[in-house]
Amino acid sequence: MIKYPTGQKSSEKKNSKEPVNFAGRGMNFEDEINRSNDYYREINKAIIYKKPTPIKVVGAHKTSTGSYQIDEAYFMQPSTTDYNGIYKGKYIDFEAKETRNVNLFPFANIHDNQLEHLFKVDEHGGIAFVLVRFTLKNTVYLLDAKVIKRLFEAKYRSIPLEIFQQEGHLVPPNYLAPVDYLKVVDQAYFD
Amino acid sequence: MIKYPTGQKSSEKKNSKEPVNFAGRGMNFEDEINRSNDYYREINKAIIYKKPTPIKVVGAHKTSTGSYQIDEAYFMQPSTTDYNGIYKGKYIDFEAKETRNVNLFPFANIHDNQLEHLFKVDEHGGIAFVLVRFTLKNTVYLLDAKVIKRLFEAKYRSIPLEIFQQEGHLVPPNYLAPVDYLKVVDQAYFD
């Protein structure tokens, strides 16, 4: 069994000027997926939403307008994935992640409870996958939960790019759906 | 067409000592549904979660531990329902509401965008319904989105109790699943 390193190669450039991102991901990728989902809903192709970020509210007060303003709260670790919904009558569930690595995607980038959730969804007959953007090459792959599970259970510490290329699906960009992943879902799950 | 009043009957007692509830619902009902969902996941019967309450973060600062503390945030109106997931391979989606009315459930208690979402899910082949607890009688009914849509489009301002009794399904309590709605989902959607 070949073990792949988790770390980032020293030849990669790190961008230290990235804006603070509370959700722990590059906002652009999330925005593009949200825009794609908006488009899918507009044309009535699928009903898929991003779940709100879980936040634990500790303190709040009533404002003069009668609504509540939160004064103290904390981001919580999500127990599930970010996106789910219905497509062609099927339950669909996925997580989206970015990496600046060139040749691999580290498992450390996804919480174990998110992986377990995806494996469960797959077990229950849903469509479950991860969308990974390799930022430096600007390529997005869809990788099915079954493939991820196989590598995870074989104690891989990261998913090599070749796995994405050979067993995953390259997601094409599209003007109206910037991350047109349903095109790839059609090939991967409905053909 | 009979039009039903939306208002609360003067004979009903209002409880002004109810605790502040940020999610806009009685916490007990939500807790009981969450506990039911926990149980369903524990026995691997279904993978259903409550979505986090959407919150718009306006201000935050980094704490000494490196995490973020939110200083200013606001509750947002949800664009979808509170609960969704997968059961027996099918997409399932529902909203849960309580009413202190005895003979009717006012449409004003559910946001239009939540209703539209349920109608869309139904249209796409998912299982879509509302769970309504009539607090004073402590009864819970499941009512399918198709029935709700019919009344909503006929401009009913509320759903009469008789509709729940005749076209809905009474949800039995259960020690391990306090709101054992999947028992009723089996009858309503899988028989």
Give the pLDDT band of residue B6 (cuts 50, 70, 90). very low
pLDDT for the residue B22: 42
Are residues A47 and B120, on separate chains, in Cβ contact within 8 Å? yes
Are residues A85 and B75, on separate chains, in Cβ contact within 8 Å? no
CB contact B42 to A (< 8 Å)? no
Is the pLDDT at B190 greater than 80? The verdict is yes
Are residues A55 and B46, on separate chains, in Cβ contact within 8 Å? no
| Minimal-distance CA residue of chain B relative to A91 | B91
Are residues B124 and A46, on separate chains, in Cβ contact within 8 Å? yes
| Lowest-pLDDT choice from B7-16, B89-98, B163-172 | B7-16
CB contact A75 to B (< 8 Å)? yes
Is the pLDDT at A24 greater than 60? The verdict is no
Q: Considering CB atoms only, which of A46, A72, A124 is closest to B89?
A: A124
| Tens-place pLDDT, residues A79-120 | 899 999 999 999 999 999 999 999 999 999 999 999 999 999
Residue tagged 């991820």 (tokens): A148
CB contact A74 to B (< 8 Å)? yes
Separation in Å, CA of B160 to nearest CA in chain A: 30
Helix (H) or strand (E) holding A8: none
Q: Considering CB atoms only, which of B47, B55, B124 is closest to A55?
A: B55
Percent of chain B at pLDDT above 90?
74
Q: Which amino acid is at A74?
A: Y
Separation in Å, CA of B124 to nearest CA in chain A: 6
Give the pLDDT band of residue A170 (cuts 50, 70, 90). very high
Give the pLDDT band of residue A21 (cuts 50, 70, 90). very low
Residue tagged 């989206």 (tokens): A96
pLDDT for the residue A124: 98
Is the pLDDT at B24 greater than 50? The verdict is no
Are residues B73 and A68, on separate chains, in Cβ contact within 8 Å? no
Q: Considering CB atoms only, which of B47, B78, B124 is closest to A121?
A: B47
List Cβ neighbours of A26 (8 Å cut-off, separation of 6 or more).
A18, A98, A133, A135
CB contact B58 to A (< 8 Å)? no
| Tens-place pLDDT, residues B90-137 | 999 999 999 999 999 999 999 999 999 999 999 999 999 999 999 999
List Cβ neighbours of A77 (8 Å cut-off, separation of 6 or more).
A54, A111, A113
Residues of chain B neighbouring A67 (CB-CB closer than 8 A): 74-75
pLDDT for the residue A189: 96
pLDDT for the residue B67: 87
Give the pLDDT band of residue B13 (cuts 50, 70, 90). very low
CB contact B146 to A (< 8 Å)? no
Give the pLDDT band of residue A121 (cuts 50, 70, 90). very high
Secondary structure (H, E, C), chain B? CCCCCCCCCCCCCCCCCCCCCCCCCCHHHHHHHHHHHHHHHHCCCEEEEECCCCEEEEEEEECCCCCEEEEEEEECCCCCCCEEEEECCEEEEEEEEEECCCCEEEHHHCCHHHHHHHHHHHHCCCEEEEEEEECCCCEEEEEEHHHHHHHHHCCCCEEEHHHHHHHCEECCCCCCCCCCHHHHHHHHHHC
**Is residue A81 packed enough to be buried (19+ CB in 10 Å), middle (13-18) or exposed (0-12)?**
buried
